[in-house]
Amino acid sequence: MEFKRHRRLRTSSSMRALVRENHLRVEDFIYPMFVIEGEHTKNEVPSMPGVYQVSMDLLLDEVREVYNLGIKSIMFFGVISAKDEIGTGAFVDDGIVQTAIRLVKNEFPDLLIIADTCLCEYTDHGHCGVIHDHDVDNDESLKLLAKTAVSQAKAGADIIAPSNMMDGFVAVIRQALDEEGFKNIPIMSYAVKYASSFYGPFRDAADSTPQFGDRKTYQMDPANRIEALREAESDIQEGADFIMVKPALSFLDIVRDVRNRFDVPVVAYNVSGEYAMIKAAAQNGWINEKELVLEMLTSMKRAGADIILTYFAKDVANWLNENK
């Protein structure tokens, strides 16, 4: 009886390494960080063990640790208490993220700093834009988002990453950046962002839970697949340099669809709820955290992601360095 012996290529660790199709590199990762007002503050986020809100005076030490692990890219989120209707804290030149960018850029010039461009951490209602008639006003919000992006670029951000899901955000941000002399600053668009329950822990970390309603009139319905291609296509036409799919784990089919259709770098956002689930299971001793995290992140590469935003970036960098 003739049959094929697939096990021949699995006989040893070296043999398996020889035929391995997908790999994780420390350069693939973007590490998200939360900067909070005040001093001497390092608050662990309860639903995200190992993730902290860090005040400005402690930030350089935190970033140094990340940098020394070989991670080349970080993303900042700001946590402030003085919020208002239009999210002024997002676009003032001395805003928390702008200040963090200046500080870190000065100390680590070759570290890529990515700015998340959104209003939800700065509005008193917690929505990603301004509210008119109980809904988020698309076109009014665009003006503020463009201002936010320009202020982040002025502070020294290397990449602008708009996560607000207003229609036309890439077009207006591209135009504003170009007019202000930032033609070479790329846009990493959260083009395909679902209205997901996996963001719960992040909203604790960033204090950005909507005070009424939800984000379903601007973020995508998790049931939809074809719509993801429309979202990605319009963002690329408007000038997006990278396309992000978010969340990642339950949306690997979408990562693959976007990879197959478009020729820009694809980013997968391994979001807070994905992190929290693994941490909780690991704390209970129910899973092998290291093996599971490496398997999960490799599956994102296999699905077609070039880049992964993950709260596990430091752990993975440590694990990859161990194997060197």
- Smallest distance, ligand PBG to C-beta of residue 201, A: 7
247 upstream amide cis, omega within 30 of 0? yes
**Which residue lies nearest ligand PBG, judged by its C-beta?**
202
Of 83, 147, 193, 314, the active-site residue reads: 193
Q: Which is nearer to ligand PBG, 99 or 141 (CB)?
A: 141
Binders of ligand PBG in range 208-247 (CB under 6 A): 208, 215
Backbone angles phi, psi at 51, to 5 degrees: -110, 135
> Which of 184/300 has CB closer to ligand PBG?
300
Other Cβ atoms less than 10 A from the Cβ of 200: the count is: 15
Exposed/middle/buried for 234, CB within 10 Å: 0-12, 13-18, 19+? Answer: middle
Cα separations in angstroms, 76 against 8, 32, 233: 47, 6, 27
159 lines the binding site for ligand PBG (CB under 6 A): no
User: Catalytic: 83?
Assistant: no
**Cα–Cα distance, 243 to 256 (Å, whole number):** 12
Interface region with ligand PBG, contact rule CB under 6 A, candidates 60-68, 80-88, 168-176, 202-210: 202-210
Site string for ligand PBG, 267-296 (x = CB under 6 A): ----xx------------------------
Q: Does 250 contact ligand PBG by CB under 6 A?
A: no
Q: 31, 74 in Cβ contact below 8 A?
A: yes
- State the Cα–Cα distance between residues 281 and 275, nearest whole angstrom: 10
138 binds ligand PBG, rule: CB under 6 A = no
147 close to 115: Cβ distance less than 8 angstroms:
no
The least distance separating ligand PBG from the CB of residue 14, rounded to whole angstroms, comes to 37
| Catalytic residue list contains 147 | no
Q: Is 116 in the site for ligand PBG (CB under 6 A)?
A: yes
Q: Is 257 in the site for ligand PBG (CB under 6 A)?
A: no
- Confirm or reject binding of residue 172 to ligand PBG (CB under 6 A): no
Least Å distance, CB 120 to ligand PBG, is 5
Within 8 A by CB and 6+ apart from 267, the residues are 30, 188, 242, 243, 244, 245, 305, 306, 307, 308, 309
Asked whether the CA dihedral 224, 229, 230, 236 is positive or negative, the reply is positive
Q: How many whole angstroms separate alpha carbon 246 and alpha carbon 300?
A: 11
Q: What is the CA radius of gyration of the chain?
A: 20
Q: Which stretch binds ligand PBG (CB under 6 A): 51-59, 115-123, 236-244, 295-303?
A: 115-123
The region of 37-45, 66-74, 200-208, 252-260 touching ligand PBG under the rule CB under 6 A is 200-208
In the complex, least distance from residue 212 CB atom to ligand PBG, rounded to whole angstroms: 14
- Report the nearest approach of ligand PBG to the CB of residue 219 (Å): 6
DSSP-derived 3-state class of residue 61: helix
Least distance in angstroms from the C-beta of 163 to ligand PBG: 4
| Binding stretches for ligand PBG (CB under 6 A) | 116, 118, 120, 128, 163, 199, 202-203, 208, 215, 271-272
